Each structure stands twice: as C-alpha cells, then as structure tokens.
Amino acid sequence: MSAEEICYLPARELARRLRVRELSAREVLQAHLDRIEQVNPQINAIVTLTAERALSEAAAADERLARGEEAGPLHGIPVAHKDTHDVAGVRTTYGSPIFADHVPGSDTLVVERIRNAGAITLGKTNAPEFGAGSHTMNPVFGATRNPYRRELSAGGSSGGAAAALAAGLQPLAEGSDMGGSLRNPASFCNVVGLRPSPGRVPTWPATLPWEALCVQGPMGRTVADVALLLSVIAGHDERNPISLDEPAAPFAGSLDADLAGLRVAWSPDLGGLPVDPAVSAVLEPAVQVFAELGCRVEPACPDLASADEVFRTLRGWLFHAGFSGLLEEHPGKMKQTLADNIAFGATLSGADIARAQTRQLELITGMREFFTQYDLLLAPVSQVPPFPVEWEYPETVAGQPMHDYLEWMRSAYSISATGCPALSVPAGFTGDGRPVGLQIIAPVRGELGLLRAAHAFEQATGYGNQRPVF
C-alpha cells in the first residue's frame, strides 16, 4: 500500500488495520509525515508540526499493542489539533501575535479525550485570530489555502483542520463552531463537519459556565469517521454544567438506515438570505437525492427572523467577557474586526443580553415546533462558494452588500442561535471546481438521526470521494 493510499484510508478502516496489526502506528505516521512534507507547503494547513514527539508516541503505541494491551478506538491515528485548543507542551498561538510563543501546560478536554483514545499528536492546524471569522488567516502564520484551488480560501475558523483532511494530512480533526467554524470550512474543502448540540461535547476550560453558543466538534472525510470521533469526544464531564449525561458509544456503531418516509424540509435561502447562484445550482439537484432515498421533501423554513439579533448580541457579550482584558493589556495587537466586536460587547446592557436570551428561547421553541412536522431541515451551509484567499470576507453576496465580516455567514450562524445540531456534507462542485456543502439540521440532541441521514446521502452521491490534485 502506498503512502498516499494510507493517508486517504477512512479513519474507521485505518483504526481497524492498526488494531489487527496490518499496519503499524509508525508506518501510518511516517506516511502522513511524508504527505505533510510534500503537500503542506502548498496550503499551510498544519502550522506547528511535532514530528519527533509523534514518532516517539507511535513507537510506544506499537509496543503497547505488541504486549497485548488493549487498544483505544483511535489507537495509532495521527491527529493535529486546532491552534485555538491547548495541547500540553506544544506551541499554541490562537493565531495571535500576543501568544506567538505560548506553550500551555495542559490539554483542553477535547484534546485530552482524543489522546486518551490512543491518537498520536501530530501538531497544530491553522485558525484565524482567536477563531474569529470564517476565513483562516492570521498575522502569525498567514492564510490557509484551499486544497482544491490554492488561490481560494479554505474557510474557517477550523480551516486548517478542513484543509488538512482534504489534502490527506490527517484522517480526523477536531474544531470549534460558534457561527459556522466547523461547517463553513467543511463546505469549502469537501469534507464533513458536525456542529453538535450544546453540551454534547463538553468544553473545558470554559469562560462562562452556561455558555452554549460556541461548541466543539468533529470533522472527517466521511460521515462515519465524524461519528467515530464524536463517540470519543462526547460524554458527560462534571466540570461543565451543561454537558449531556448520555452514552456516546452509539455513534461508533453502524449508520446504515432506511430513510423512507422521513419528513424533510428544504429551504434554499433560510427565509430570504442572499445566496450565490453557483451555490444554489449545486444544492438544488443534491436535495432531490433525499426524495430518491424515499423521503418526503417539501419547501419549508422555520422563523429565523430574530436569529441575527440573538447571535450578534450573545457573541458580542462573549467576546467582551473573554477578550476585553487582553485587549486592554495589548492595545493595537488584535485585528480591528475583533477589537470592534469586543467594543460592541462593552456597549451591551443587562437588558440587551436578557432580551437576546429571551428571543433565543423563542427561537428554540419555534424550532421545536417546526420539528414536530419535519425530521430534518436542509439548507445552504454557506451563502457563497470559496472566495479568493486574499479577501478577509466577501463584500457582496448575490449582488447584496455585506456590511461586516460576519454577515456572509448568516446561513450558518442563524442555526447556531437555535441550538440545533447541524452538519455539512459534500454536495458537489460548481462549474469552476469549487466545493459546496449541504447543511443538514436536526432537532436538539438529534445527532444520531442526523448522522444516519447524512451517511445515506453521502453513500448515494459519493461527492466526498473526489480528491484534490497536487
């Protein structure tokens, strides 16, 4: 088996071969290190590489297996972690010059769980400054480029993770999602990204104990691989008060399911958002696949009119809580758009935040009622296909001006405000070769049904099988 073949094996199959010793952890790691050396300079996805540490971990993993010790579900699988997530002893910059030389002393919980499952730490993947924005560029490492067309953005904020997956640099990835940061880069890079329900993947450390807008979650090249990683990182943690005390093991099982009779709503613009015609042209035929799978598909959209106010208010509050002290300590060291978000947060009153939370409850209630009539909602992940890597954000969408670096992400962040789990699955390519993802949305805590539906779509279409050319 060639190194490239190893690098593109599905994570579930790779894990199986490692457990039965058809492949060694050292062999798998070396294949990925060779691939990184060949490809990463062209896309800048992995920004810190821990090759020596990884080689030592891989050797230790092989030795444990040779002694007959039990192998974890991710035994020997190399994983690079998002550069906004702490890894003990590994440079973690958050994409900020303030932390350019920062080396944390402990792992974040999601990293800890992945490592405890047997994964090998490969390094760190690129992210925008403090994860702010859905285009991966920062003053420490520069921009991450799209593996399918290197002059385009890989999306963000988990753009380095998505690009590394698409390019065969790692089999699995973790990321975070406030306004689309797992879904948008998955859409741009032709991979799968899942934003779970709040509490499904507990976050620790955390700034605010009940915060539910930003979640962490899995990415992979297939839906089944995403489900495998979810089975590792999900589950209760007593330090996080909103973490769900539900078993995660079912996610690692078979996702095969008959979708006949499923009630599916399709909203091409989520209530009137501007959508690039190139995106619509890809998604319209993709949606019909659900009808071919036996689903009852009809046009429908929940009332998301208040989602913009809810998201922007709560995001501003969270950014002020998390970064205002840092901005005061290091004036002029943050990108202006991020500083503006923090400043907006400072203007919010208790009444503003209470109103946003009240309106969010109305959104959640409306979605619950919507999902008594439908099992799933289909929509665009992103309102645009990948755009030039030099841009901070697209200034127009379908002829309508975008007033800031958030507005073009409304198709993703409107769903964030509802608390519903949502997944981006490859849905095809534009005429000029830009990937487009389909967003599948399920009721709160409905991840298993969501994964099964996405798996069926993926198996019926095979869009995710198309690889970038280097």
- Catalytic residue positions, numbered: 82, 157, 181
Of the candidates 239, 244, 156, the residue with the CA atom closest to the CA atom of residue 198: 244
What residues form DSSP beta bridges with 264?
Answer: 297, 376
C-alpha distances (whole Å) from 61 to each of 14, 33, 111, 297, 462 are 14, 17, 17, 48, 33
Of the candidates 372, 370, 396, the residue with the CA atom closest to the CA atom of residue 271: 370
Tokens for 433, please give them: 């070769």
Radius of gyration of the chain (CA): 21
C-alpha distances (whole Å) from 12 to each of 24, 26, 58, 143 are 15, 18, 18, 30
- Separation of CA 252 from chain center: 19
* Nearest-angstrom CA–CA distance, 65 and 62: 5
117's CB contacts (< 8 A; 6+ apart) are 72, 73, 74, 75, 232
C-alpha distances (whole Å) from 32 to each of 6, 40, 82, 226 are 8, 11, 17, 19
What residues form DSSP beta bridges with 46?
Answer: 125
Of the candidates 317, 393, 382, the residue with the CA atom closest to the CA atom of residue 355: 317
* Nearest-angstrom CA–CA distance, 223 and 230: 10
Q: Rounded to a whole number, what is the distance in angstroms from the first to the last CA of the chain?
A: 19
- The 8-class DSSP code of residue 101 comes to T
Tokens for 61, please give them: 């993993």
Strand order in the sheet with 120-125: 46-49, 120-125, 78-82
What residues form DSSP beta bridges with 138?
Answer: 142
Of the candidates 200, 237, 130, the residue with the CA atom closest to the CA atom of residue 419: 200
How many residues are given for the chain? 470
Name the residue type at position 130: F
* Nearest-angstrom CA–CA distance, 403 and 266: 27
* Nearest-angstrom CA–CA distance, 381 and 186: 9
* Nearest-angstrom CA–CA distance, 455 and 346: 43
Helices (H) and strands (E) in the chain, counts: 14, 15
